[in-house]
Amino acid sequence: MIKNSVYKGSLSTIVMKLLNDNGQMYGYQITREVEEITAGKLKITEGALYPVLHKLEAQGLLNVNMEKVNNRPRKYYFLTEKGKKETVSLLSDMRSFIQNMEVLLNPGISNG
Amino acid sequence: MIKNSVYKGSLSTIVMKLLNDNGQMYGYQITREVEEITAGKLKITEGALYPVLHKLEAQGLLNVNMEKVNNRPRKYYFLTEKGKKETVSLLSDMRSFIQNMEVLLNPGISNG
DNA sequence: AAAACATACCTAAGAATCTTATGTATGTTT
DNA sequence: AAACATACATAAGATTCTTAGGTATGTTTT
């Protein structure tokens, strides 16, 4: 994902947050959505995304809803109850990380 | 580094920013400093830090100044000119990443 | 003075995450 | 017909981190 990797490890969080907001999405849609939301600055590669989706499903955080649109299969993913709880936790972790980075990047400034 | 890893890939940036602000630091000091600045929330492990310091040195981004204090050796690291330029770039990338994450985490809110 | 803790360096195996490259298949546009 | 877009997928390799050690000296506690 993302050209210039300062940021490994945030892909699962991004995916789950999107599913949390949109109900259900399919893989290709996620790649388009992230690119659109960030004005092309973040690019998720499919080679990173699909394995993550499979992993999250294996962990019981996502479920799949298979559909056929225009004679092509689509796999809609959505959060399980366990996945919703995990999303809350991951978002909390991400906000903590960002706050910590703000403190490190802006020392001496009241970060609050 | 950091217990709860949403965030791989930011260790080099953190290290170089600290060296940029403090002139020179030694490894153990960096682990203490990060823990102090973030009130114990970010913990850099030595198993992660030392290989990074060696890698940055090999890339010509850091130089070393060996000293002996209390009969123990200390390796003070400091940024080269190349390292200073790279730090500017890494900090820019990190700020972009944080901004992009803000947009993703807070959709529909004017992030500016 | 022995034990425990802190300082200060280091490496190596393995796990986790991503990049790059590639593959399949269908539909749409040039 | 060729190129592009949609939609899925995997696999080799690179990078980054965790975990678990190891060495050595100085300081504090028992």
Task: Note the pLDDT tens digit of each residue in A12-61.
Answer: 999 999 999 999 999 999 999 999 999 998 999 999 999 999 999 999 99
Domain chopping of chain B, boundaries: 11-91
Q: Is B25 helix (H, G, I), strand (E, B) or coil?
A: strand
CATH class of A11-91: mainly alpha
Please state, in angstroms and rounded to a whole number, the distance separating the CA atoms of residues A14 and A30.
9
Taking CB atoms and an 8 Å limit, are B95 and A105 in contact across chains?
Answer: yes
Residue window 18-57, chain A: list those with CB within 8 Å of chain B: 18, 21, 34, 37-38, 41-42
Please state, in angstroms and rounded to a whole number, the distance separating the CA atoms of residues A105 and A109.
10
Q: How close B19 comes to chain A (CA, Å)?
A: 12
- Each residue of B17-56: pLDDT tens digit? 999 999 999 999 999 999 999 999 999 999 999 999 999 9
Cβ distance B73 to B66 under 8 Å? yes
**CA-based nearest residue to B14, from B111, A11, A16, B1:** B1
Q: How close A58 comes to chain B (CA, Å)?
A: 19
Taking CB atoms and an 8 Å limit, are B104 and A14 in contact across chains?
Answer: yes
Cβ distance A38 to B104 under 8 Å? yes
Give the range among A31-35, A46-50, B4-8, B9-13 with minimum mean pLDDT. Answer: B4-8
